[in-house]
A and B are shown apart, each in its own frame.
Chain A
Amino acid sequence: MATVLIENLTKVYPPTLNNPTQVQALGGLSMSITGNVFVAVVGPSGSGKTTLLNIVAGVERATAGSVRALQEGVPARVGYVFQEPRLLPWRTVVDNMLYVQDRKSDRSRREAEFYLQMVGLSDVADLYPSQLSGGMQQRVGIARAFLVNPDVLLLDEPFSHLDALTGRSLRDYMQRIWLQTRKTALFVTHDVTEAVELADRIVMLRPGGTAYDDIAVDLPRPRRHDDPAVRDMQDEVLRRFDAMGAAVRFGAHA
């Protein structure tokens, strides 16, 4: 069972050439995730969501505080789905998969094909990313994250660059795969409706990178976007999101 313990996490970016003041992306965020749950982190643009995932993935270092992602006491293996597909353009789809795979054997190609099939892409293994649509590339990114058999799955607005229809069908894929595998997932989005559709729990970040709210979503799965119960929950979370917006704006004036 995987756990992610985030304690007092702070990230301050030093001043850069085009931004002479330092930027606080995260301001002492604490949360803990235990077990095979799907956690959505929502927040407005610039509230430190990507920064949070990068620190959990070990790509970036925290300024203060700590993040521990553990699987049975040892460092957890993470699978990361980025905001953009981030595929090597000069390698075929299947070679992109094998690139992150930690074994090289006959089995690994079959495994890669298995996960491609899971996202509905069994025919494109030998094509190059430029031959796929944006939605298909993003699906390859999802398959790649599952291929490494991660203990913790990190997802950074994986559907935000896609049109509404493609986004919806990918969310359905996502839900189906997650139900089959039940990985501990940390899913970042600024779209409250998609958070409700996918998550067991929604953590709301406010600008400056601190938690504003923590909402449990107790709805049966698989969820459908047109289910009235899902709709009601979405309205409820949106209300709280708007309340946070008002509070932030009010706070700024005060």
Chain B
Amino acid sequence: MSDMRAREDLAGLRSLGARSGPKAPPTMRGFLQRPWFIGLLALGLLLLVWQWISWVNLQVPGVGEIARFMFTEISGGSHGGALSGEFWAPLAVSLQRYAVGLAIGVPVGAVLGMVIGGVRWARGLFNDTVLVLLALPAVVWAFLASLWFGLSSWGPILAVVLTVVPFMAVNISAGVRNVDPGLAEMSRSFGVPFGRRLHHLLFGGSLPSAFTGLRLSFMTGWNSLLIVEWFGSTSGVGWRARFWYDALRYPGFVGWIFLFVILITLLDRLLLSPLERRAFQWNQRPTLAFAEEA
């Protein structure tokens, strides 16, 4: 094994973390530095601080109270009176709007970003529009959308689209513009056809910033959805949070807010991060180099 490694080094082959040898046994310090451990720690601290605030300020519901309320909400039990828990229906409505909004906004923003990044005159034409979209807060969309569409689902969907498009466009156009001009020169000297250049050079080169854009889009799109549902909808999770807020049932309001955060974090960890890791194989660094030498 070490002989082979030595030969690879001689040949100038750089070994990757993923390809090299078995993992070193985890040390205590390594364990404490695992991302999920730090995440749990942060969550624990947050809950602790929250609980402390609820002791100081009696208006703020405690952690246990919130958990009990959300359990009733999720299991469809009774909140007292005629009010019963409702969880899956608003969640399904919101996720559907979110998915439709992303399915429209992400590709539109991506194409717009490619055009702004790659075509000079388009930059002048669209850049300011995109910046204006970027600067407008989601509340504006909430009111405009409820004016245009009443209380239908198109308001929240439009808000997601309009939030996502500029985030994708700005990031992807920056990615396209940052593609090494030397690589463009290389492509031209070899007469690489346009389609292939688009695919391998521009698309490949802007992938890192596309991911940044995607992440931001997922977050801000979700936020706008909630705000629009809060102000201009009679269904969805944003509406449900407001429902409890208006009913002065703060455990419900706060519980839903917690759920929003958990949902978006899960989405990021379970969907985007693995995708990102796969897309960036080429950029892997040998992370286990020190452990192996020991």
Among the 9-residue stretches A13-21, A87-95, A231-239, the one with 4 or more Cβ atoms under 8 Å from chain B is A87-95
**A90 and B204: CB pair below 8 A?**
yes
**A84 and B282: CB pair below 8 A?**
no
**A99 and B200: CB pair below 8 A?**
yes
Chain A neighbourhood of B207, CB < 8 A: 90
Query: In the complex where A88-B200, A90-B205, A91-B282 touch, is A100 in contact with B188 (Cβ < 8 A)?
Result: no
Chain B neighbourhood of A124, CB < 8 A: 13
**A131 part of interface (Cβ distance < 8 Å):** yes
Report the count of interface residues on A (CB-CB < 8 A).
Answer: 33
Chain A neighbourhood of B192, CB < 8 A: 99-100
**A179 part of interface (Cβ distance < 8 Å):** no
**B201 part of interface (Cβ distance < 8 Å):** yes
Distance in Å from the Cβ of B289 to the closest Cβ of chain A? 14
**B282 and A89: CB pair below 8 A?**
yes
**A82 part of interface (Cβ distance < 8 Å):** yes
Instruction: Give complex CA distance A134, B12 in Å.
Output: 8
Q: List 14 A-B contacts (CB under 8 A).
A: A59-B188, A80-B189, A88-B200, A88-B204, A90-B204, A90-B205, A99-B192, A99-B196, A100-B192, A130-B284, A131-B16, A132-B12, A132-B14, A154-B189
Distance in Å from the Cβ of B204 to the closest Cβ of chain A? 5
Apart from A127-B13, A132-B14, A154-B189, what 18 extra A-B contacts exist at CB < 8 Å? A57-B189, A59-B188, A78-B189, A80-B190, A86-B182, A88-B201, A89-B283, A90-B282, A90-B283, A95-B200, A99-B187, A99-B196, A100-B190, A102-B191, A124-B13, A129-B282, A132-B13, A136-B12
Report the count of interface residues on B (CB-CB < 8 A).
Answer: 27
**CB contact list, A88-132 vs B, under 8 A:** 88-92, 95, 99-100, 102, 124, 127-132
Chain B neighbourhood of A154, CB < 8 A: 189
**A180 part of interface (Cβ distance < 8 Å):** no
Q: Which of A58, A90, A91 contacts B188 (CB 8 A)?
A: A58
**B33 part of interface (Cβ distance < 8 Å):** no
Distance in Å from the Cβ of A169 to the closest Cβ of chain B? 11
**A208 part of interface (Cβ distance < 8 Å):** no
Chain B neighbourhood of A134, CB < 8 A: 12
**B3 part of interface (Cβ distance < 8 Å):** no
Chain A neighbourhood of B190, CB < 8 A: 79-80, 100, 148
Chain B neighbourhood of A54, CB < 8 A: 185, 189
Distance in Å from the Cβ of B78 to the closest Cβ of chain A? 56
Chain B neighbourhood of A131, CB < 8 A: 13-16
**A80 and B186: CB pair below 8 A?**
yes
**CB contact list, B249-291 vs A, under 8 A:** 281-284
**A133 and B12: CB pair below 8 A?**
yes
**CB contact list, B187-223 vs A, under 8 A:** 187-192, 196, 200-201, 204-205, 207
**A46 part of interface (Cβ distance < 8 Å):** no
**A86 and B12: CB pair below 8 A?**
no
Instruction: Give complex CA distance A58, B182 in Å.
Output: 14
Distance in Å from the Cβ of B122 to the closest Cβ of chain A? 24
* Binding site secondary structure of chain B: helix
Instruction: Give complex CA distance A80, B188 in Å.
Output: 10
**CB contact list, B1-25 vs A, under 8 A:** 11-16
**A35 part of interface (Cβ distance < 8 Å):** no
Chain A neighbourhood of B204, CB < 8 A: 88, 90-91
**A167 part of interface (Cβ distance < 8 Å):** no
Instruction: Give complex CA distance A206, B196 in Å.
Output: 39
**B183 part of interface (Cβ distance < 8 Å):** yes
Chain A neighbourhood of B187, CB < 8 A: 99-100
Closest to A154 in B: B189
Chain B neighbourhood of A89, CB < 8 A: 282-283
Closest to A124 in B: B13
**A86 and B13: CB pair below 8 A?**
no
**A135 part of interface (Cβ distance < 8 Å):** yes
User: B157-194 CB contact bits vs A (8 Å, 1 = yes)?
Assistant: 00000000000000000000000101101111111100
Instruction: Give complex CA distance A136, B69 in Å.
Output: 63
Distance in Å from the Cβ of B154 to the closest Cβ of chain A? 38
Chain A neighbourhood of B12, CB < 8 A: 132-136
Distance in Å from the Cβ of A178 to the closest Cβ of chain B? 19
**CB contact list, B122-150 vs A, under 8 A:** none
Distance in Å from the Cβ of A131 to the closest Cβ of chain B? 5
Chain B neighbourhood of A128, CB < 8 A: 281-282
Closest to B19 in A: A131
User: B24-56 CB contact bits vs A (8 Å, 1 = yes)?
Assistant: 000000000000000000000000000000000
Instruction: Give complex CA distance A88, B282 in Å.
Output: 10
Closest to A141 in B: B186
Query: In the complex where A58-B189, A91-B200, A128-B281 touch, is A133 in contact with B183 (Cβ < 8 A)?
Result: no
Chain B neighbourhood of A95, CB < 8 A: 200
Distance in Å from the Cβ of B90 to the closest Cβ of chain A? 41
Instruction: Give complex CA distance A54, B186 in Å.
Output: 10
Chain B neighbourhood of A82, CB < 8 A: 182, 186
